[in-house]
Amino acid sequence: MKDEAKTKKRITNELAELCQRIAELEKVEAERQQLERKVVEYEELDRLKSDLLSTVSHELRTPLAAIKGYTTMLLDYDRRLRCEEKQEHLQSIDRATDRLTELVDHLLDMSQLNAGLLKLEKQPISISKLIREAVAEAKLTAPRHQIVLNMRKGLPRVNIDAKRIRQVLDNLIDNACKYSKEGSSVVVQAHRGGSELHISVADQGIGIPAGDLERVFDWMYRIEKRLPQEEGLGLGLSISKGLVQAHGGRIWMESEEGKGSKCSFTLPL
Ligand code: ATP
Ligand code: MG
């Protein structure tokens, strides 16, 4: 009887030890799985970082090469160049410098939005004036497109960061012109809908495949190059989404491949 009790106690102790060991092993396994997830996350971050570096360096190289090329030409062949040729080369340098500034601004905005550091400077402004100015400027920068403004009269003033909303509008008009043929029309519309303001930019361009509609707002997402001379980092729409959401609005894309696209956003009133 005594032996039996001893054996029982030994088995109970062994069982308790076993349970403790199992619990320890489970803890180690959970830690291993967590580490595994971290490794996958780091690998993904590393991949994004190298993607970003190669895209950015590629995009920076194009305008830099233009600036270097035309400057060298102006310095080396100064006497042999006609006045109009010099003027054209200077204009190309000017355009390439604008492109570089735009790329750097896009990257800075994106990093501020990602870090939640972007500060809006809101003021009540006339949205009609802001849209009219954006359209007037777009007509100058894209003279071969038919840019049409379709805006209801008497739109209310809105409390927004005018520079940032102008940036959204410029990004959408830039896309509409970039992804459509010269001569086609780009329609900018604005109207009040309940407690929101609706603004949209529609084009008759190459459109977006249904499967890509959601993803075009992702950071650095670009549909495989479909047009010659197509430039971009795939940041315009993600920055626009961040800016619209920071104002409490929504942004979305509608499109039919080969027919055109319409990007719309709202601003709360
Ligand atoms: P970036 O704006 O940084 O110069 P991007 O124009 O390529 O470069 P986004 O504006 O973010 O980047 O657009 C993402 C992708 O969505 C584009 O590469 C393009 O393929 C597609 N896209 C955006 N707008 C249109 C449009 N109006 N028509 C057709 N495709 C579009
Ligand atoms: Mg763009």
In angstroms, what is the span from residue 1 Cα to ligand 2's centroid?
Answer: 86
Answer yes or no: is the C-beta of 223 below 6 A from any ligand 1 atom: yes
Q: Please report which confidence band the pLDDT of residue 169 belongs to, taking 50, 70 and 90 as the band edges.
A: very high
CA of 73 to the centre of ligand 2 (A): 31
Q: What is the pLDDT of residue 106?
A: 85
Does ligand 1 come within 6 angstroms of the Cβ of 203?
yes
Q: With bands split at pLDDT 50, 70 and 90, how would you rate the model's confidence at 261?
A: very high
Q: 24 is written with which tokens?
A: 């320890």
Nearest to 240 by CA among 74, 84, 106, 88: 106
Mean pLDDT of 103-119: 85
pLDDT for 229 beyond 90 = no
Closest ligand, as measured to the CA of 218: 1
- Distance from residue 24's CA to the centre of ligand 1 (Å): 52
User: Which has the higher per-residue pLDDT, 231 or 95?
Assistant: 95
Q: What is the DSSP string of the chain?
A: -HHHHHHHHHHHHHHHHHHHHHHHHHHHHHHHHHHHHHHHHHHHHHHHHHHHHHHHHHHHHHHHHHHHHHHHHHHHSTTTS-HHHHHHHHHHHHHHHHHHHHHHHHHHHHHHHHTT------EEEEHHHHHHHHHHHHHHHSTTSEEEEEE-SSPPEEEE-HHHHHHHHHHHHHHHHHTS-TT-EEEEEEEEETTEEEEEEEE-SS---GGGTTGGGSTT------STT----S-HHHHHHHHHHHTT--EEEEEETTTEEEEEEEEE-
Q: What is the pLDDT of residue 221?
A: 86
Binding site membership of 160 for ligand 1 (Cβ less than 6 Å): no
Q: Is the CB of 56 under 6 A from ligand 1?
A: no
pLDDT tens per residue across span 185-201: 999 999 999 899 999 99
Q: State the distance from the centre of ligand 2 to the C-alpha of 22, rounded, in angstroms.
A: 55
pLDDT in tens, 137-147: 999 989 999 99
